[in-house]
């Protein structure tokens, strides 16, 4: 389906803003005339030849992220101030052609997973008006769930980029800490905060994340992609899932929904491994119940003490308790977290990701109002540990559970495995793979490293990503290099043919490791493809006595020709 023009997108958004104007989704919305003028400006930039990958997409911004000219309140009116500049993530999205609509409602100071802790009103789920949208990025998720915008920015410390995704039946990408810069973002727990992205599809969320990611000179927390970042999930991944006793927070119906999700992943070709996630669940409790909560006191404790009007009672109680946290308890729990993280990494070693329920319950607004702290704590059972342990995650919808709301699952993996969880999320919802733009180097293979061939596992183990089938330019020949196993060498010649192969992408670190396993006469060199591009590929210094198998039409054809002999 073709993307609408920026003007068409603006007009659609304006109509839906009117339709949902009374649902507490927004704190500030830009004027219709401003939206249409910006849309026209984007179209003019495209017409002038600018490459604007997000042109035709609209987005909202959580109101703890700066937008130039609009107040930032963090859902506390007295905190309101009007920044002169966009937060870095916002600036990058606008520069790429996305149309900024306004500032979305949120749990005050990004403290909460329910979406009811705001003086601007509670936000309900876009698929169940009696149930919460989830917080703290409540408005950002509801704006996407109701189709008002194509994507939105949230923030995530304890699960705020994932829980609202589950409760609104949309996608939430929670990146590795630091990949999306935090300059221009009001802190909640600065050591564990990240900007996150909501969208109806993994593909759109990935587009936005690809543009927004990257180091910022003005954010000391920001990081660039690791040189060892894997390029994607394998075709047959190993997925860890919690043991039965680790799922006690789920009702029988929610547990059945999770079991169906596990079966769905298994039927898609994944191997399932049951693991003990108690170290992660123990770490989750440290975020609010231990010394780590002191970061919230640093972020906004004094402000709430001095500005009690319009303060949410639950947020105020958390801040007040945080203000009394001792320094020794902070150090104690930081050390405890290091040990729990070590155990968690050992638990997940040998797997590609952990699949876990995003939230064990989807409460009603009335249930949250009756018991705001206790319900919020249960909601965060399976999300709180992720940022504490420097992991990335992708949350996707699973199903509606009769009488209990929406249920979703999250794929969780170590830092910089963002492409892995995006791939797994895409497969779960039936989308094509989404590209996050992880830096890598393309390598063409023509023989034993092809998919289904004996050495392909070397590429998979290195986190390589299959891109597509390719052919060489029509002046290459294929020579047989005998060994264990036999391998082909592709060499340039005056008279040759187009030879079939595959293009894979490896991280720089993986490519260096790959090179150490290549024995003479094979080597990596430049290979020209049929489309005129030049990539790295297997070539060789050959003496001339090797068997020429060019006439067979490629390595798989050669292997097929051997089959009758072997039989």
C-alpha to C-alpha distance for 325 and 60, rounded to whole angstroms: 35
* Residues facing 81 on adjacent strands: 72
C-alpha to C-alpha distance for 338 and 273, rounded to whole angstroms: 24
C-alpha to C-alpha distance for 113 and 166, rounded to whole angstroms: 11
By C-alpha distance, which of 92, 102, 17, 11 is closest to 56?
A: 11
444: enclosing H helix or E strand: strand 441-445
DSSP codes of every residue in 372-422: HHHHHHHHTTTTTHHHHTTEEEEEEEEEEETTTEEEEEEEEEETT-HHHHH
User: 370-398: per-residue pLDDT in tens?
Assistant: 999 999 999 999 999 999 999 999 999 99
From the number of C-beta atoms within 10 Å of its C-beta (0-12, 13-18, 19+), residue 366 rates as exposed
Backbone angles phi, psi at 554, to 5 degrees: 125, 170
Read off the tokens for 164. 């609202």
C-alpha to C-alpha distance for 282 and 212, rounded to whole angstroms: 32
C-alpha to C-alpha distance for 445 and 535, rounded to whole angstroms: 10
Identify the pLDDT of residue 222: 97
Three-state SS annotation for 485-519: CCEEEEEECCCCECCEEEEEEECHHHHHHHHHCCC
Architecture of the CATH domain 6-278+354-429? Alpha-Beta Complex (3.90)
Place of tokens 């339709």: 19
User: Where along the chain do its domains lie?
Assistant: 6-278+354-429, 441-566
Identify the pLDDT of residue 567: 47
Percent helix, percent strand, percent coil in the chain, to nearest 5: 35, 20, 40
Domain 441-566 CATH class label = alpha beta
Identify the pLDDT of residue 494: 87
Q: Peptide bond preceding 136: is omega within 30 degrees of 0, i.e. cis?
A: yes
Taking CA atoms, 293 is separated from 91, 113, 115, 377, in Å, by: 31, 15, 20, 14
Taking CA atoms, 520 is separated from 106, 373, 440, in Å, by: 60, 65, 25
Q: Show the low-confidence residues of the chain (pLDDT under 50).
A: 567
- Are 211 and 156 in contact by the 8 Å Cβ rule? The answer is no
By C-alpha distance, which of 288, 499, 442 is closest to 377?
A: 288
Identify the pLDDT of residue 396: 98
Catalytic residues: 62, 136, 160
C-alpha to C-alpha distance for 74 and 410, rounded to whole angstroms: 26
C-alpha to C-alpha distance for 238 and 335, rounded to whole angstroms: 30
Read off the tokens for 91. 């600036």
From the number of C-beta atoms within 10 Å of its C-beta (0-12, 13-18, 19+), residue 330 rates as middle
Q: At what angle do helices 202-212 and 88-95 cross, to 10 degrees?
A: 110
Residues 6+ apart with CB under 8 A from 546: 479, 480, 481, 489
- Are 528 and 534 in contact by the 8 Å Cβ rule? The answer is yes
* Residues facing 412 on adjacent strands: 354, 393
C-alpha to C-alpha distance for 120 and 198, rounded to whole angstroms: 21
- Are 549 and 558 in contact by the 8 Å Cβ rule? The answer is yes
DSSP state, 177? T
203: enclosing H helix or E strand: helix 202-212
User: 246-268: per-residue pLDDT in tens?
Assistant: 999 999 999 999 999 999 999 99
By C-alpha distance, which of 158, 190, 195 is closest to 174?
A: 195
Strands 441-445 and 500-506, sheet pairing: antiparallel
Side by side, the strands of the sheet bearing 547-548 are 487-492, 476-481, 547-548
Strands 99-104 and 58-62, sheet pairing: parallel
Identify the pLDDT of residue 544: 61
C-alpha to C-alpha distance for 359 and 366, rounded to whole angstroms: 18
269: enclosing H helix or E strand: none
C-alpha to C-alpha distance for 357 and 381, rounded to whole angstroms: 9
Any alpha helices (H) in 349-371, and if so which ranges? 365-370
CB atoms within 10 A of CB 338: 10
Give the angle 555-559-562 at the CA atoms, nearest 5°.
140
Read off the tokens for 120. 């601007």
């Amino acid at each position: 389906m073709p993307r609408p023009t920026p003007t068409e997108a603006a007009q659609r958004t304006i109509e839906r803003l009117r339709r949902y104007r009374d649902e507490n989704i927004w704190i500030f919305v830009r004027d219709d005339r401003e939206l249409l003028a910006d849309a026209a400006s984007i179209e003019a930039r495209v017409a002038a030849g600018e490459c604007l990958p997000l042109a035709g997409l609209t987005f909202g911004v959580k109101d703890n992220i700066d937008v130039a000219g609009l107040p930032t309140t963090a859902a506390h009116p007295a905190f309101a101030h009007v920044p002169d500049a966009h937060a870095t993530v916002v600036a990058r999205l606008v520069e790429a052609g996305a149309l900024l609509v306004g500032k979305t409602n949120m749990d005050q100071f990004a403290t909460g997973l329910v979406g009811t802790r705001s003086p601007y009103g509670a936000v309900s789920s876009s698929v169940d008006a009696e149930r919460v949208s989830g917080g703290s990025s409540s408005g950002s998720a509801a704006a996407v769930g109701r189709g008002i915008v194509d994507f939105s920015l949230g923030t995530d410390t304890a699960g705020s980029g994932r829980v609202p995704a589950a409760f609104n039946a949309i996608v939430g990408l929670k990146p590795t800490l630091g990949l999306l810069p935090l300059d221009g973002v009001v802190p909640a727990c600065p050591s564990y905060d990240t900007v996150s992205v909501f969208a109806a599809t993994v593909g759109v969320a990935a587009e936005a994340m690809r543009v927004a990611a990257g180091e910022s000179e003005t954010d000391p927390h920001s990081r660039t992609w690791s040189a060892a970042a894997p390029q994607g999930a394998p075709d047959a991944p190993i997925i860890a899932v919690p043991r039965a006793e680790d799922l006690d927070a789920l009702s029988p119906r929610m547990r059945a929904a999770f079991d169906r999700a596990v079966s769905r992943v298994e039927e898609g070709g994944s191997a399932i491994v049951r693991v003990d996630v108690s170290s992660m669940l123990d770490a989750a409790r440290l975020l609010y119940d231990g010394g780590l909560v002191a970061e919230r006191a640093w972020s906004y404790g004094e402000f709430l003490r001095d500005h009690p009007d319009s303060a949410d009672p639950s947020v105020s109680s958390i801040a007040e308790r945080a203000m009394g946290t001792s320094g020794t308890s902070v150090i104690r729990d930081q050390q405890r977290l290091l040990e729990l993280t070590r155990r968690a990494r050992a638990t997940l070693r040998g797997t590609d990701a952990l699949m876990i329920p995003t939230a064990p319950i989807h409460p009603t607004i009335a249930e949250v109002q009756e018991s705001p702290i206790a319900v919020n704590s249960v909601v965060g059972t399976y999300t709180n540990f992720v940022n504490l342990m420097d992991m990335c995650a992708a949350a996707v919808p699973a199903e509606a559970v009769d009488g209990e709301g929406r249920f979703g699952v999250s794929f969780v993996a170590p830092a910089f495995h963002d492409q892995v969880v995006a791939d797994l999320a895409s497969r779960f919802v039936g989308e094509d793979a989404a590209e996050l733009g992880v830096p890598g180097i393309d390598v063409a293979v023509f023989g034993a490293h092809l998919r289904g061939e004996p050495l392909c596992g070397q590429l998979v183990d290195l986190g390589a990503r299959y891109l597509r089938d390719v052919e060489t330019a029509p002046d290459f020949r294929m020579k047989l290099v005998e060994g264990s196993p036999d391998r082909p060498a592709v060499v340039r010649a005056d008279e040759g043919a187009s030879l079939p192969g595959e293009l894979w992408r490896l991280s720089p670190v993986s490519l260096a490791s790959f090179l150490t396993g290549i024995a003479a006469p094979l080597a990596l060199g430049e290979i020209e493809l049929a489309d005129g591009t030049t990539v790295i590929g297997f070539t060789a210094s050959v003496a001339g006595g090797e068997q020429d198998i060019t006439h067979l039409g490629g390595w798989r054809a050669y292997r097929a020709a051997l089959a009758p002999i072997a039989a």
